[in-house]
Homo-oligomer: A and B are copies of this chain.
Amino acid sequence: MKNIGFSQVNITGGLMGHRQKTNREATVHAVYDRFCDTGRFDPYFTDESKRAENYPKNLHVFYDSDVVKLIEGAAYLLKDGSTPELEAMIKLVEDAVERNSDPNGYFNSYFTNNEPENKFTARNLHELYTAGHLFEAAVAVYEMTGNRRLLDCSCRFADLIEKVFKEEKSAKFLTPGHEEIELALVRLYHATNEKRYLELAKYFVDIRGNEEELSDAKKYFPAGRYSQAHLPARDQRTAEGHCVRACYFYSAMADIAREYNDQELFAACKAIYEDIVTGKLYITGGIGQTRVGESFDRPYNLPNESAYNETCAGISLAMFARRMSELELDSQYADLVELLIYNAILSGVSLDGTSFFYENPLELDPARHKMADWANPDVEKLPPLPQLQRLKVFSCSCCPPNICRFFASIGDYAYGKDDDTYYVHQYFNGNMADGDVRIEVETNYPAENVVKITTENTRNIAVRIPGWCKNFTIDRDYTMKAGYAVVEGDGAITLTFDMPVTLITANHKVRMDRGCAALKRGPIVYCIESVDNGADLTALCVNPNLNETLTFNEEFGAYTIETDGCRIPDSDQLYYTLGSEPAPVAVRLKYIPYFAFANRGITEMSVWVRLM
């Protein structure tokens, strides 16, 4: 199967249409403004008055990656029409990258300005990571505009990297501390048809974690499992370490597996994917069980309040799942992408599109913040608590531009094709055109459960039956294939998915969710907030006999759900003989979509609610 790129996909209306509009009208500009405020664009301006006083000392090693990732998003936004602001933003970066690249092709504002003598000497300083994001941005601008300026700079830089790392081996480290360049080189190869870039990507994947690399890894932080350098890629079977590093690397492994038909790499990818979804995945699709190393942790250890679930990690997992979907026909991959889109990733941005979560916890309790401050002046010694509100920008502000590029190109995740069949992975209202094939989707999914699809010139059309859906109807004959319903020919199809409000429980090994359930409807995970339900969410229980009322909320673009529950009265008693606990009082619980949490001031939030 081959994915169909977002440039062939139009999304109009519905939750995702609205999100794309907000992305274009608010997010890209808000991130640009904050990046200007914080000096990230300083090396890109020629006007010195626009720069911070302490330029270039103010630069961080990863600032360029923030900028070029935003430009990647800006380029994708051109699909729905150019604007002077987007054009200017892209040109600013094109000019600067040309101007500031070394004659040999090297580009990195931090090193060039602050430590020119230390280029390619420190594995942990994100040099190749930044290069990778530059390549992705260059490919994006080239593909959207035909303009080769960034692409040419990227090729020169990639040639230098090939020479230094692969031919001469003269760099002080062997592979990047933060993966990203591997998948970017595959994209650069596809944009330029220059196979050396694919081979360089394969080289970085191949040597990572082999003996030579391991001995090197000891010398240069970050090493070992933290950066997936504990074993050769082909021997890895579990998801380990820093989640974003991990899933960018697994994405590259899947790319190389596909390009070289490498079954060993595919087997590694598949085992790692299974390891994630059977023990390390939050119900929202989030990954990152611990902020220690922003990492995967032991299976089933899925704490809710300290869930890290970095927004970028969600995006990187979607990237990995999409690539797995190309390697193996199985609807589970698109199921996971769907879960990520509407939950772990969408929660990363405010409804107005201008502020962002780095971590996406499944529980918030502002009172615990107060207590922690109050009880412990040595608060830095305690496990830190999650942010209570989205922020405009952070010191490590990788997530906001990632949100921008992800939603701008989300059409990438919607369709695929193989020799005789077109696949609809995601149900976005709009259409897809590929040669003389056209697919039109009319739906307000996932708010509503009906999807009308009209196709032209398809031999077969395969539509994903979501994993959460137990019953569905299709008004045409179909056969099931790996989770897709395959309909022959073209014409109109109407899909109706049973989309009941459902309580979900966790595997018994997940200690923190014992006795609790989470509410879900379709792919959307719900949560409760104290702004709707009063203080102390731990006192609330949900009645397993749901008695729900759905109300469409325009601001959220989704239904809110009220259902029966109860509240346990407060008590000073710490332990009770079973049966002597205070009698609960019946209440209606008001659930909102998880992705919309923390949009109405500081308030408690919980995904998992005690079962009555």
Contacts and interface: CB of A to CB of B under 8 A. Distances in A.
Interface stretch (A30-38, A247-255, A512-520): A512-520
A93 interface: no
Contact of A298 (B281, B295, B375, B502): B375
Contacts of A240: 375
Given A298-B368, A505-B581, A378 B576 contact: no
A371 B544 CA distance: 35
B574 A375 contact: no
Contact of A226 (B223, B290, B378, B575): B378
Contacts of A283: 575
Contact of A507 (B298, B372, B574): B574
A585 interface: no
A278 B574 CA distance: 5
B516 A514 contact: yes
Interface in A409-435: none
Interface string A493-536: 00000000011111111111011110000000000000000001
A514 B290 CA distance: 22
A372 B509 CA distance: 16
A572 interface: yes
Interface in A123-170: none
Task: Count this chain's copies in the assembly.
Answer: 2
B503 A577 contact: yes
Given A514-B514, A515-B514, A371 B575 contact: no
Interface in A337-375: 368, 371-372, 375
Q: For the side of the interface on A, what is the size category?
A: 35 or more
A51 interface: no
A578 interface: yes
A103 interface: no
Nearest to A278: B572
A121 interface: no
Given A375-B240, A381-B292, A573-B278, A578 B505 contact: yes
B298 A372 contact: yes
B293 A507 contact: no
B290 A575 contact: no
B578 A377 contact: no
Contact of A502 (B300, B517, B577): B577
A507 B292 contact: no
A296 B372 CA distance: 11
Contacts of A470: 577
B515 A536 contact: no
A574 B505 contact: no
Contacts of A601: none
A376 interface: yes
Given A225-B376, A377-B230, A514-B610, A578 B504 contact: yes
Contact of A377 (B225, B571, B576): B225
Contacts of A574: 277-279, 281, 506-507, 510
Contacts of A279: 574
A88 interface: no
A538 interface: yes
B515 A578 contact: no
B578 A503 contact: yes
A583 interface: no
Contact of A224 (B378, B507, B538): B378
A560 B447 CA distance: 55
A52 interface: no
A299 interface: yes
A375 B225 contact: yes
A536 B509 contact: yes
Contacts of A503: 577-578
Interface in A278-296: 278-279, 281, 283, 290, 292-293, 295-296
A586 interface: no
A298 B371 contact: yes
A365 to B, nearest CB: 9
B514 A576 contact: no
A576 B512 contact: no
Contacts of A278: 572-574
A296 B512 CA distance: 21
Contact of A571 (B225, B295, B368, B507): B507
A295 B483 CA distance: 52
A81 interface: no
Interface of A: 223-226, 230, 238, 240, 277-279, 281, 283, 290, 292-293, 295-301, 368, 371-372, 375-378, 381-383, 470, 502-512, 514-517, 536, 538-539, 544, 568, 571-578, 581, 610-611
12 contacts: A230-B377, A238-B375, A278-B574, A281-B574, A283-B575, A301-B368, A503-B578, A504-B575, A505-B578, A509-B539, A512-B512, A515-B610
Name the 4 nearest CB pairs between A and B, nearest first.
A515-B515, A503-B578, A514-B515, A298-B371
Given A296-B375, A503-B578, A507-B576, 15 more contacts: A223-B377, A225-B377, A281-B574, A292-B381, A292-B383, A293-B378, A300-B538, A301-B368, A504-B575, A507-B574, A508-B538, A508-B610, A509-B536, A514-B516, A517-B578
